[in-house]
């Protein structure tokens, strides 16, 4: 994959994993923690690390050296689950050489399969869902006493707001900040509402304090995370579940009277609060739902230079009938209007997307609608998948998965080929321009080069010079690949 190209072909992203290491207290107990899937899973792993390091663990990169192995899982596609199963068999083999080793599965796959992995297949000793990480020390005690342990209870309150995540990334420049958990959207193809529970927002004060601490610790960029950040809403009395639907709608769209608005913190408000932490702290966010994003969010983005001009706006399909069948809550026309608003309010903003091809009963003409919307939207990049039926979802219960594997593969390839052209076209627009870049790491292609991203989230590569990670530099783009700008630092 070309450096900086943020696209996914079929299920490949779900196969990515990061083994994390941090320094903890001196201890004989060692933790090997591996994460798969979305950014939320990686952020959750930092919470898990904080909880267990607080219990005297230290982390290790060598699974054979570990006393406890936890794999934080993704259940969004069958291919992802199969790769994780294969990994669990590898852990089971490692356990034969170290009988006291404890193996646990965390996250969405744990929530979906519950005791199956525990009792039927005996691949793990612990099964813990996304809302039960505080219980991990107790679950470990149960296993040490000779029992297998499970806690997959979902919560309507848990946000882990009081836990300071242990930053396990390697660059020390960018960090994830979870602002909410769960999802209420109930898209017919998606397991997230069943594996992560109902939507609940986190206290804004705890989010601001976390962002401040990160800046003091040297971080220069935060990404605010949520399954649907645009529906974030907090009021003095707690979370939005206690409010009438009409009040929620009015608050999110800033339709309340001024004296009423002061009681609520919407996502647009939260963006501004985080941006105000320090002008040198960049702010990104993910993910937005087209039906919930408001112009208020766009206006907040334009007010602050340090709020990055980039939006990930999943479309999933370019056809209104398919979107209705997916229960996405918007039509093709609605989606187009949202992008038109972005272009009017923030012309320099880049947009990326998610696309699912081969959804139940999708016709060839409807597939062409997706291709035409891609051409119109001119996405900078996309995460692209063929439909994978997930047990327990509305689609699995109501619809037939009637598109053949061969047709799905062919349609996916057409989408990938088109997006490659669009990405190259959008990247070339950056040539000859000066980009403010936050240095994140050494280039994968050359140790003499640094790489970082501009406000539109495009990767920029340039000679290291006397600069260091965490610095902002102005780079004149003089060359490019299909998804990466290459240039020279200028004063």
Overall fold of domain 174-424: pyruvate-formate lyase- activating enzyme (3.80.30)
Element containing residue 70 per DSSP (H, E): strand 68-73
Please check the confidence at residue 237 and state whether its pLDDT lies above 70: no
For 274-306, the DSSP string reads: HHTT-TTSEEEEE---TTT--HHHHHHHHH-TT
Higher-confidence residue of 77 and 18: namely 77
Asked if the 11-151 domain carries CATH number 3.20.130.10, the reply is no
Task: Grade residue 112 by pLDDT with cuts at 50, 70 and 90.
Answer: confident
For 265-281, the DSSP string reads: EEHHHHHHHHHTT-TTS
The Cα–Cα gap between 254 and 247 comes to 10
Higher-confidence residue of 320 and 97: namely 320
The Cα–Cα gap between 115 and 149 comes to 9
What percent of the chain stands above pLDDT 90?
Answer: 75
Write down the pLDDT at residue 75. Answer: 79
What percent of the chain stands above pLDDT 70?
Answer: 88
pLDDT (average), residues 117-137: 88
Total residues found in the chain within this entry: 491
Task: Grade residue 16 by pLDDT with cuts at 50, 70 and 90.
Answer: very low
Under CATH, which number does the domain 434-490 receive? 2.40.50.140
The residues spanned by each domain of the chain are 11-151, 174-424, 434-490
What letter would DSSP give residue 162? Answer: T
The Cα–Cα gap between 53 and 164 comes to 11
Structure tokens at 405: 């594997």
Please check the confidence at residue 235 and state whether its pLDDT lies above 90: no
What letter would DSSP give residue 451? Answer: E
In 287-388, which ranges are E strands? 310-312, 350-357, 381-386
Task: Grade residue 261 by pLDDT with cuts at 50, 70 and 90.
Answer: low
Structure tokens at 139: 């679950």
Write down the pLDDT at residue 21. Answer: 45
Higher-confidence residue of 13 and 396: namely 396
Write down the pLDDT at residue 11. Answer: 33
Please check the confidence at residue 180 and state whether its pLDDT lies above 60: yes
Write down the pLDDT at residue 479. Answer: 97
Number of H helices, E strands in the chain: 15, 24
φ, ψ of residue 233 to 5 degrees: the values are -155, 125
Write down the pLDDT at residue 91. Answer: 92
φ, ψ of residue 303 to 5 degrees: the values are -75, -25
Nearest Cα to 77, choosing from 394, 397, 386, 352?
A: 386
Q: What is the pLDDT of residues 139-153, one digit of tens each?
A: 999 999 999 899 999
Write down the mean pLDDT value for the chain: 89
Please check the confidence at residue 6 and state whether its pLDDT lies above 70: no
Q: Which residue has 């990055």 as its token pair? A: 308
Write down the pLDDT at residue 255. Answer: 65
Most confident of 144-148, 265-269, 457-461: 457-461
Higher-confidence residue of 28 and 403: namely 403
Task: Grade residue 199 by pLDDT with cuts at 50, 70 and 90.
Answer: very high
Largest CA distance in the chain: 66
Please check the confidence at residue 58 and state whether its pLDDT lies above 90: yes
Q: What CA–CA distances, in Å, run from 488 to 437, 454, 473, 485? A: 11, 14, 10, 10
Write down the pLDDT at residue 246. Answer: 57
In 46-187, which ranges are E strands? 58-59, 68-73, 102-107, 126-128, 149-151, 174-178, 180-181
Between the CA atoms of 183, 188, 190 and 191, what dihedral angle is there, to the nearest 10 degrees? 80
Please check the confidence at residue 127 and state whether its pLDDT lies above 70: yes
Write down the pLDDT at residue 378. Answer: 97
């Amino acid at each position: 994959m070309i450096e900086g190209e943020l696209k996914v072909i079929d299920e490949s992203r779900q196969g990515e994993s990061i083994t994390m290491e941090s320094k903890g207290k001196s201890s004989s107990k060692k933790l090997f923690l591996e994460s798969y899937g979305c950014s939320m899973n990686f952020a959750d792993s930092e919470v898990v690390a904080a909880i267990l390091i607080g219990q005297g663990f230290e982390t290790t990169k060598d699974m054979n050296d570990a006393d406890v192995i936890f794999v934080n899982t993704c259940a969004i596609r069958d291919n992802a689950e199969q790769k994780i199963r294969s990994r669990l068999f590898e852990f089971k083999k490692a356990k034969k050489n170290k009988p006291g080793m404890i193996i646990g599965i965390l996250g969405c796959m744990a929530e979906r399969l519950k005791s199956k992995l525990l009792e039927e297949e005996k691949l793990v000793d612990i099964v813990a869902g996304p809302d039960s990480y505080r219980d991990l020390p107790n679950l470990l005690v149960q296993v040490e006493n000779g029992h297998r342990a499970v806690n997959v209870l979902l919560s309507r309150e848990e946000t882990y707001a009081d836990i300071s995540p242990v930053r396990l990334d390697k660059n020390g420049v960018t960090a994830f900040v979870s602002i909410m958990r769960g999802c209420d959207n109930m898209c017919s193809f998606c397991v997230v509402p069943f594996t992560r529970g109902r939507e609940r927002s986190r206290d804004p004060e705890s989010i601001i304090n976390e962002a401040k601490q990160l800046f003091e610790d040297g971080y220069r960029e935060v990404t605010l995370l949520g399954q649907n950040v645009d529906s974030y809403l907090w009021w003095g009395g707690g979370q939005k579940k206690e409010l009438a639907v009409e009040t929620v709608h009015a608050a999110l769209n800033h339709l309340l009277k001024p004296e009423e608005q002061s009681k609520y913190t919407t996502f647009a408000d939260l963006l501004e609060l985080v941006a105000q932490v320090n002008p040198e702290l960049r702010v990104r966010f993910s993910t937005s739902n087209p039906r919930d994003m408001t112009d208020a969010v766009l206006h907040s983005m334009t007010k602050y230079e340090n709020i990055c001009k980039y939006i990930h706006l999943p479309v999933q399909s370019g056809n209104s009938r398919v979107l209705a069948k997916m229960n996405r809550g918007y039509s093709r026309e609605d989606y187009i209007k949202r992008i038109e608003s972005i272009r009017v309010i923030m012309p320099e903003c880049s947009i990326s997307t998610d696309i699912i091809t081969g959804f139940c009963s999708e016709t060839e003409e409807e597939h062409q609608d997706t291709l035409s919307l891609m051409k119109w939207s001119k996405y900078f990049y996309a995460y692209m998948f063929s439909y994978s039926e997930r047990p327990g979802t509305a689609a699995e219960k109501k619809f037939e998965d009637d598109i053949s594997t061969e047709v799905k593969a062919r349609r996916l390839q057409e989408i990938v080929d088109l997006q490659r052209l669009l990405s190259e076209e959008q990247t070339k627009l950056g040539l000859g321009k000066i980009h403010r870049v936050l240095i994140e790491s050494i280039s994968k292609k050359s140790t003499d080069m640094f790489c970082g991203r501009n406000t539109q989230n495009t990767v920029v590569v340039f000679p290291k010079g006397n600069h260091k990670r965490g610095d902002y530099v102005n780079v004149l783009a003089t060359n490019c690949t299909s998804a990466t700008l290459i240039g020279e630092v200028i004063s």
